[in-house]
């Protein structure tokens, strides 16, 4: 299937590792120019070089998405570097699991307010696009109560509500908004690798819940995300796509 991404311009926050990196790579592989950001400058430099190695234009900047001014500046610079923006993917999370006030603040500032600020900064560029889309990376923890109940789950659930509101509000402008809710996703340097070594009991319990007998891979989350963001999904808006290998049991109505 041709996703219609050749010549497109995509922006991915948290695009240097894990799901975000896989999304950026997938966009480039489909012929889209890509802008990424992350907090580690060296990792941003490496990722941009790899993306350019595919023959596609790429731009990157190191920043913390909870810094509103820095995020605004990045979006503006990315649009200038790529000649506009068609698709934005909000992928960054504070991974705030504990229930203390600091975790709630981190989750709000990064997961939720970071996403809101990204949309607001990108909106003038999306309004000029013929195939604009907004995609948020949520989580199955936003659908069901699990060990991440608290700030992480609450913010991921809020992203789903926010996206569906945007889908309705922006439909008349031809701008789509969706969420993707990954299940457990394992990759080197990721949260599940850290849990595997630091909390083997929790890791074993999590693995036992996966009926496929394994966790997902970043590229398995990236492909459906890029499809949702692409013109091939032109009539899909306001949906939450669960990609979890049958991990969750709830019926999504």
**φ/ψ (deg, to 5) at 238:** 80, 20
Residue 253 has pLDDT above 80, yes or no: no
Q: Between residues 252 and 122, which one has the greater pLDDT? A: 122
pLDDT (mean) for 180-195:
95
Residues known to be catalytic:
138-139, 152, 156
The CATH topology of domain 9-187+219-243 is Rossmann fold (3.40.50)
The pLDDT, as a whole number, for residue 45 is 98
**pTM (predicted TM-score):** 0.97
Q: What percent of the chain has pLDDT over 90?
A: 94
Q: Which of 31-35, 75-79, 147-151 has the lowest mean pLDDT?
A: 147-151
Per-chain mean pLDDT for the chain: 96
For the residues 117-131, what does the mean pLDDT come to?
98
Whether 252 shows a pLDDT value over 90: the answer reads no
Predicted confidence (pLDDT) at residue 4 exceeds the cutoff of 80: yes
pLDDT value at position 20? 98
Query: What is the Cα–Cα distance from 124 to 238, expressed in whole angstroms?
Result: 20
- Domain positions in the chain are 9-187+219-243
pLDDT value of residue 129:
98
| Closest CA relative to residue 134, chosen from 2, 19, 239 | 239
């Amino acid at each position: 299937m041709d996703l219609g991404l050749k010549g497109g311009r995509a922006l991915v926050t948290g695009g240097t590792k894990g799901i975000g990196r896989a999304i950026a790579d997938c966009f480039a592989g489909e012929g889209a120019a890509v802008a990424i950001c992350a907090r580690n400058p060296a990792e941003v430099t490496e990722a941009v070089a790899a993306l350019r190695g595919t023959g596609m234009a790429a731009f990157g900047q190191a920043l913390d998405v909870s810094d509103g001014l820095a995020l605004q500046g990045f979006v503006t610079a990315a649009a200038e570097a790529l000649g506009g923006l068609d698709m934005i993917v909000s992928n960054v999370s504070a991974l705030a699991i504990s229930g203390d006030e600091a975790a709630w603040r981190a989750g709000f500032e990064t997961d939720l307010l970071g996403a809101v600020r990204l949309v607001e900064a990108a909106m003038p560029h999306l309004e000029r696009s013929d195939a604009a889309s907004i995609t948020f990376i949520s989580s199955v923890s936003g659908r069901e109560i699990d060990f991440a109940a608290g700030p992480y789950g609450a913010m991921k659930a809020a992203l789903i509500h926010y996206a569906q509101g945007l889908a309705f509000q922006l439909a008349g402008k031809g701008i789509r908004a969706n969420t993707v809710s990954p299940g457990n996703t394992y990759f080197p340097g990721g949260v599940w690798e850290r849990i595997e070594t630091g909390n083997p009991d929790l890791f074993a319990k999590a693995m036992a819940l996966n009926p496929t007998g394994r966790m997902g891979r970043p590229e398995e989350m990236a492909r459906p995300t890029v499809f949702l963001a692409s013109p091939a999904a032109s009539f899909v808006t306001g949906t939450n796509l669960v990609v979890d290998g049958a991990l969750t049991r709830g019926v999504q109505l």
